Amino acid sequence: MNINLNELDLNDVGIWPLPVKIVTIAVISLMILFLGYWTDTKKQLANLDKSEQEELTLRTTFEEKQHKAANLDAYKEQMANMKASFGALLRQLPVKTEVPGLIEDISHQPSPSLPVLNSLLLRSRRQRRYQEQRMSCSAVQIKQ
């Protein structure tokens, strides 16, 4: 069977030979599939990839929060212990009214090798997390 493409009439597709009809239908079907993929499926696949990434992120976040929730009682107990130990340490620090007495105790302590001649409180400096109380002391070392 010899087919001449120049003799095919687009207005009379019904009389085309069967192999030409099959090839034409196959080409048109492939074009429809390609255009469908290009316009709709490609966007859906991109959304699917984005959703899968979001799912992984959410799953990781969930697992972290679930782990924290499972250990919540232990965290609360640890926090209570830390507050108690912090309170004990805080009570050991001198309060503002005790500082002059402490300096006086330091200057009047009998030390045979290092007597303190005088001590003077300087202006305190506020640091980021604490207040620094500066002090000037004069002492003379006695050689024995």
Query: What pLDDT was estimated at residue 83?
Result: 93
Query: What pLDDT was estimated at residue 111?
Result: 64
Query: What pLDDT was estimated at residue 53?
Result: 96
Query: What pLDDT was estimated at residue 57?
Result: 96
Residues 67 and 99 in one domain: no
**Per the domain annotation, does 140 fall within a domain?**
yes
Q: Alpha-carbon distance 125 to 116, whole Å?
A: 24
- The last residue of a domain, from among 93, 116, 133: 93
Helix axes 72-92, 42-70, angle to 10 degrees: 50
Residues 105 and 71 in one domain: no
Domain that holds residue 119: 95-144
Q: Are 121 and 135 in contact (CB under 8 A)?
A: yes
Query: What pLDDT was estimated at residue 56?
Result: 96
Residues 81 and 20 in one domain: yes
Query: What pLDDT was estimated at residue 32?
Result: 94
Query: What pLDDT was estimated at residue 122?
Result: 77
How many distinct structural domains can be found in the chain? 2
Residues 106 and 61 in one domain: no
User: Residue length, the chain?
Assistant: 144
Residue recorded with tokens 């070392």: 141
**Per the domain annotation, does 9 fall within a domain?**
no
Per-residue pLDDT of the chain (144 residues; tens, 9 = 90+): 677 777 777 778 888 888 888 999 999 999 999 998 888 888 888 999 999 999 999 999 999 999 988 988 999 999 999 999 998 888 887 776 666 676 666 666 656 666 666 667 778 788 887 777 777 777 776 666
**Per the domain annotation, does 5 fall within a domain?**
no
